[in-house]
Amino acid sequence: MRKRVVITGMGGITPLGHDWASIAARLREGRNAVRRMPEWDYFEALNGRLGCPVDDFEVPRWPRQQLRSMGRVAQLAVAASERALQDAGLYDGTSQDAAAIRDGRMGVAYGSSGGSVEPVRVMGRMLDTGSMQGVTATSYIQMMAHTTAVNVGVFFGLKGRIIPTSSACTSGSQAIGYAYEAIQQGKQTLMLCGGAEELSGPGAAVFDTLFATSTRNDEPQLTPRPFDRRRDGLVVGEGATSLVLEEYEHAKARGATIHAEVIGFGCNSDGNHITQPTRDTMAVAMRLALQDASLPAEAIGYVSAHGTATDRGDVAESQATASVLGAHVPISSMKSYVGHTLGACGALEAWWAVRMMREGWFAPTINLDEIDPDCGELDYIVGSERRFSTEYVMSNNFAFGGINTSLIFRAVD
């Protein structure tokens, strides 16, 4: 018998703020956090010089011994996880209080596109010059692909299973999905899951070389423009979001606040192209999530789109969504506010979708002035927030390598 899985904690570090009240206020203002990055003027051939950094993040006063293994991406992940655990009532910053999550019942599913950039730079210098100056015993720990998952687990002393999800733009959504399945199948009682990403010039260059970044360098407030006819690419962002998933009866027994129930997860692969999306297999992922949730398509009341503002991505995603859910489903993209947070986006967008569902309002896609006629026929939320109630929301994400994910959340009274 499948166990029910609920969300009892949520928290994040984002370019719009680090608590839901601040984030909701910015969403309602319709202002993005994109800015020109003068730090990147050093990179001569970089076309897109826009980013969406977390400018106000300060590393908490954690023990130096624990900080040694963390680059910025792991710091963001741990800070977001502290907030989620506190929201769940499982941690107050003291080792004594954390004892209840250290007996093996809680595992970790966490991801990022990769590790931190600074130790990679140091290693690169070693290859160029032969010098090992700057290479330390923790350089690899900071740069390895699973640095977020293991640093989160070690910091909080979690002894359950560790599921690293380094899958680019689906790192956060796969983490939620695999955490959900671990609890659903009775392998864990609680899971701390999510995704994180740090902003860097090399990270932006990956997309720049594919001509996928916005070059509106003098108009940061007007980009990215998901689904808009005049979109010219994505803007890379950073941040982290963590969720605490918990077996329903366990959450009820301890009197936890339940934010939502996770009821569906679909994940598959295009098996076709490393960077070009495939509409048909995107649609299959959504149908798999609906099947897992035992829901008809018409039950979905809102879709949090991947919505990167890339040429082919927006068209394929929107057409796939329309083919599965029909033309009348409301949809918007949170990347219009914070750019593409890569490994963090799946968790960040799930967090925001759940909060908006609970409060009965949904933010629009900003900068969506003229819907691209090539995009699928959907009910794009534009202009200002839209107020309505729904029991079910879907959050979709798609990554390089043709990885497709779809999550469904249910409102719980």
- Answer yes or no: are the C-beta atoms of 172 and 395 closer than 8 Å: no
pLDDT of 61-85, one tens digit each? 898 888 999 999 999 999 999 999 9
Residue 94 has pLDDT above 80, yes or no: no
User: For residue 48, what pLDDT band results from cuts at 50, 70 and 90?
Assistant: very high
Mean pLDDT estimate for the chain? 95
43 vs 130: CA distance, rounded Å: 24
Which residue among 18, 146, 259, 306 is the active-site one? 306
The predicted pLDDT at position 132 comes to 84
User: For residue 100, what pLDDT band results from cuts at 50, 70 and 90?
Assistant: confident
Q: How far, in Å, are 113, 327, 342, 371 from residue 298 at the CA level?
A: 33, 10, 29, 23
The predicted pLDDT at position 322 comes to 98
Of residues 185 and 135, the one with the higher pLDDT is 185
The predicted pLDDT at position 95 comes to 58
126 vs 160: CA distance, rounded Å: 37
pLDDT of 193-238, one tens digit each? 999 999 999 999 999 999 999 999 999 999 999 999 999 999 999 9
Residue 124 has pLDDT above 80, yes or no: no
Question: In this structure, what DSSP letter does residue 126 have?
Answer: H
Q: Is 340 a catalytic residue?
A: yes
What's the angle, vertex CA 332, arms to CA 207 and CA 339, rounded to 5? Answer: 30
Among 55, 60, 62, which Cα is nearest to 16's?
55
Which residue among 18, 52, 169, 375 is the active-site one? 169
Residues above pLDDT 90, as percent of the chain: 89
Which residue among 18, 146, 259, 340 is the active-site one? 340
Question: Which tokens sit at 360?
Answer: 């009965």
The predicted pLDDT at position 126 comes to 78
- Answer yes or no: are the C-beta atoms of 234 and 308 closer than 8 Å: yes
Among 342, 347, 285, which Cα is nearest to 316's?
285
Q: What is the mean pLDDT of residues 264-287?
A: 96
Residue 96 has pLDDT above 80, yes or no: no
Q: How far, in Å, are 162, 303, 324, 328 from residue 134 at the CA level?
A: 30, 46, 52, 56
255 vs 381: CA distance, rounded Å: 36
The predicted pLDDT at position 72 comes to 97
Structural domains of the chain sorted by starting position, each given as residue range(s) with its CATH number in brackets: 5-253 (3.40.47.10), 264-410 (3.40.47.10)
Strand extents, DSSP E, 142-211: 162-164, 190-197
The predicted pLDDT at position 83 comes to 97
Q: Is 273 a catalytic residue?
A: no
Q: What is the mean pLDDT of residues 341-358?
A: 98
Question: Which tokens sit at 290?
Answer: 């609906």
What's the angle, vertex CA 363, arms to CA 358 and CA 367, rounded to 5? Answer: 165
The predicted pLDDT at position 203 comes to 92
The predicted pLDDT at position 293 comes to 98
